[in-house]
Structure 1
């Protein structure tokens, strides 16, 4: 089997990270980040930014357990050297009936085996009165975006 290109390595790492999120796989999440990795968020999220692989893993497992969180990746763009990427995602909060869309900018370590930093940006300000937070008048369905979570959230103890 041939070695993956830097672009392919970066995308595969992002997809493994999202699978670990969806599985509430604490160790898989920890393994996705450098020990001192950071996940930045827009204003309003208590405890943000999340600093350290353990804190990031704890945060996403909490989301699955308490909000029924599921995520889909809509688009991925990666730099040629594989050290940075940007994605569009959807966060399905199935237990509370909310949907949030946004983008994230990724920075990876030198060998593209771990995430060093994520900077998240929301498609719109979070409006708790809206069950689906999205861009005004953007046709998500016509563009091929997910319109439902990828699967039911796992039960987390």
Structure 2
């Protein structure tokens, strides 16, 4: 069944996906994706691509458990006519006390499900450690999130 995608429906799907990531809720994440969805990462990333909804959900559940991962959406651009979206995010790694900024491109199928996510990271130069972000960009001045949204105690739990 083909549906007419709207910017609102695409945004709702993307926000539900990230809510599922933040909750470590596999069912919520998987409800937003086509079964064959793939999440690509920069070349050399240790996890390689996640292929299939279960692998994607498992990867983010593991990230929450090991790193205290949380994500915030900073900006979002939606293109329903071409079934694509791009957003900037912050990946908070609260157990390490660090974060990573980047963006992801999303592709959607005819049913409005995510089929592909392509991640691009703002990476520091080789040998530089710390937060990964654009040098000289005024994140705070432009209204970007500057602290993780939750503590481990206040993180939302999976829906039952």
Same fold, TM-score > 0.5, yes or no: yes
Q: Can you list the C-alpha shifts for 1:27-84, whole angstroms capped at 9, x where unaligned? A: 1112221111000000232231110000000000000000000000000000142611
Aligned-residue CA RMSD in angstroms?
2.1
CA distance in 1, matches of 2:127, 2:32: 30
Give unmatched runs, 5+ long, in structure 2.
none
Task: Mark the CA change 1:155 to 1:23 in structure 2 (over 3 Å): closer, same or farther.
Answer: closer
TM-score of the superposed pair, with normalisation by structure 2 = 0.87
- Which portions of structure 1, spanning 4 or more consecutive aligned residues, are displaced by more than 3 angstroms? 125-129, 153-156
Q: CA deviation at 1:22?
A: 0.4
Give unmatched runs, 5+ long, in structure 1.
none
Q: Which moved more, 1:9-18 or 1:127-136?
A: 127-136
Would the aligned equivalents of 2:104 and 2:117 in 1 still touch at CA under 8 Å?
yes
**Alignment coverage as a number of residue pairs:** 152
Superposition pairs of residues 1-150 of structure 1, within 5 angstroms: 6-81=6-81, 83-112=83-112, 114-125=113-124, 130-150=129-149
Task: Mark the CA change 1:67 to 1:115 in structure 2 (over 3 Å): closer, same or farther.
Answer: same
TM-score of the superposed pair, with normalisation by structure 1 = 0.89
Q: Which moved more, 1:62-71 or 1:43-52?
A: 43-52
